[in-house]
Structure 1
Amino acid sequence: MKKIYLLAILLLSVATAFSQSKMACCHKTTTAPSATKKFAMLASNSKFVMAHANPKRMRFQSSIGKLINYKTADGLTANAYELKAKKPTNNYLLVIHEWYGLNDYVKREAEKLYSDLGNVNVIALDLYDGKIADNRQDAGKLMQAVKEPRAQSIIKGAIAYAGTKARIATLGWCFGGGWSLQSTLLAGKQATACVMYYGMPEQSIDKLKTLNTDVLGNFANKDQFINTKIVAQFKENMERAGKKLYLHQYDADHGFANPSNPIYDSEATKQAYAFTLAYLKTKLK
């Protein structure tokens, strides 16, 4: 009788262990969305979409910038808008567009940075693979359609195009503001500067610890989505990661630096650009 009792206990223990093992095997763990994915998810929020007024039409024709193609690690090619330095230099600035895509506004701003910074190569990336939106609804769809592996391949391809000796600075607005920081992380030891205009910050302290440079952030206090709470958390996370954040906040709204945006704030833009230019000139000597 005692043997039967012990055998029953043994069988019950084996069954319990098998059941727990099966549950552990089949249980799906969930991970928090990345910073860029989290920002892209905002496009499903009607309030976020409606907070972006449709842009004013803007036309820009450059005599020095040109469209280029380069290979990406995923076996495809990427598009970009390039302004080559007048003299050979290893200084590069990667510019990343807002959620409307690589449009004339971004090309114009890229050329302005090129002219004001001096001898630097500027490459405005195209994370939408040629697609451009002229209204907020289509912009939201394009932003949501971005696949992180493809975006990372485009960025890595641009870094490879610049070369192993290139010193990489990045700058972006809105959607591109978040990707500016991600590009700096991808650039590793080649990274020398990072400028974010009201973009979603990276929240992982472990990732922020790997930054090879400090960051300049231009944020809007009236922004309901990349709000002051998120910015304060970013500042704290950078401090915990042992990295420097040059934080500038303005009494303006999301998208304040875009002259094609009806809520464009000229004074905040002027101040932010002055800080940005001084920072980049120091980093890209």
Structure 2
Amino acid sequence: MCDLENCDPNDVSRPSVSATDRRLFLAGALALPLATILANVELAEAQAAKGVSINQSTADGRTVSAYFAEADKKDAPVVILIHEWWGLNDNIKTMAEDIRAKGFHAIAIDLFNGSVATNRDEAKTQTKAVKASEANATIAAWVDWAKANGNGKVATLGWCFGGGWSLSAALNTKLDAAVIYYGRVTANADSLKKLNAPLLGHFGTLDKSINPEMVGAFQKNLAEAGKSDLMTTYWYTAGHAFANPTGGRYDEDDAALAWARTHTFLAAHLR
């Protein structure tokens, strides 16, 4: 479910923020761009502290946790966020807070049971340790929770490792929409026949693994399954993980455009 060779470590220079703006943001007196928050550890930690941890039971008898950012309206739709191979870190929690600010309940789920990687080796280890049956059960449990705790409409949103699981959720649960950021899209035509949720895909033409060949084959499989109308695809002249401000392939303009398109898509299908 993840491109193991093309996820960069978080080792690039970060967008700067002045001491005054930092102080005002931490005091709640200033709003900053999402990319700036994500790329500065202290700001991301502060933003990620706004939500709460909640638990849910799975069909296979496990207790799983998630980060919940609650919208102002109780009957808001729910967006389930699925993390990259780094795990449920402050970046993903901050994305959840931005989703909440747009009027959605945001649930950032955890497929790594609390493990968060800080380097590539740790990320590879925890990604390879994931059992598909358990991940599917975890996602299904949170979809059930989401349907019972909002207006009944639910979408998934995943990046890289989580992008592949966002597609899997669309095939194995009843969703109203699913967003895939450069995740593996290798489902065959037979499995795609059960797809009913609209999909939004963001992909980079410079991505060496989740590449135009893979996406093109997926689109052919969608056509064979009679589901082409369910997929909206956007291409960016960018590499893998171009939307992660702490990664080496971050593209600010493309990330902002993709995020705006994501919000438009979610609003269209969940309102």
TM-score normalised by length of structure 1: 0.79
Unaligned runs of 5+ in 1: 1-35
Superposed displacement of residue 90, structure 1 = 5.7
2:100 is matched with 114
What is residue 61 of structure 1 aligned with on the other side?
46
Matches within 5 A, 1:84-233: 84-89=70-75, 91-116=77-102, 118=103, 120-163=104-147, 166-188=152-174, 191-233=175-217
Q: Which has the higher contact order (CA 8 A, sep 6+)?
A: 2
1:75 to 61, 69, 78: 61
Q: How many equivalent residue pairs?
A: 236
* 8 A contact 1:168–1:187 mirrored in 2: no
Q: 1:9-88, aligned counterparts within 5 Å?
A: 36=1, 39=2, 43=4, 48=5, 51-56=6-11, 58=41, 59-62=44-47, 64-88=50-74
- The structure in which a higher percent of residues are helix is 1
Q: Which amino acid aligns with 1:196?
A: I
Does the residue aligned with 2:169 lie in a helix, a strand or coil?
A: helix
User: What residue is the counterpart of 1:281 in the other structure?
Assistant: 267
- The answer on whether the counterparts of 2:99 and 2:105 sit within 8 Å (CA) in structure 1 is no
Partner of 2:25: none
1:97-147 deviations in Å (ceiling 9; x for gaps): 00000000000111112212x2x2110010001000011111011110000
Runs of at least 4 residues of structure 1 off by over 6 A? Answer: none
Consecutive unaligned residues of structure 2, counting only runs of 5 or more, are 12-39
Scaled by the length of structure 2, what TM-score is found? 0.82
- Partner letter of residue 203 of structure 2? F
> What residue in structure 2 maps to residue 239 of structure 1?
223
Native 8 Å contact 2:71 2:101 kept in 1:
no
Larger Rg: 1
Q: Over aligned residue pairs, what C-alpha RMSD do you find? A: 1.6
Give the AA of the match of 1:166: G
Distance 1:52 1:171 in 2: 18
Identity rate of aligned residues, in percent?
A: 38
Residue in structure 2 matched with residue 260 of structure 1 by the alignment: 246
